[in-house]
Copies of this chain bind each other. A is one copy, B any other.
Amino acid sequence: MREVSIGEAARASGVKVPTIRYYEQIGLLPAPVRRDNNRRLYTAAYLKRLAFIRHARELGFEIDAIRTLLELQDHPQQSCAAADATARVHLAEVERRIGSLQALRDELQRMIDGCSHGKVAECRVIETLADTSHRHGRLV
Chain A residues with CB under 8 Å of chain B are 12-14, 48-49, 51-52, 55-56, 58-60, 69-70, 72-74, 76-77, 80-81, 83-84, 87-88, 90-91, 94-95, 97-98, 100-102, 104-105, 108-109, 111-112, 115-116, 120-132, 135
How long is the Cα–Cα vector from A112 to B120 in the complex, in angstroms? 46
Distance of A105 Cα from B121 Cα, bound (Å): 33
Contact A125 B73 (CB under 8 A): yes
A128 surroundings in chain B (CB, below 8 A): 52
Interface SS of chain A: helix
Residue in B52, B72, B111 whose beta carbon sits within 8 Å of that of A129 in the complex: B52
Residues of B within 8 A of A132 (CB): 12-14, 51
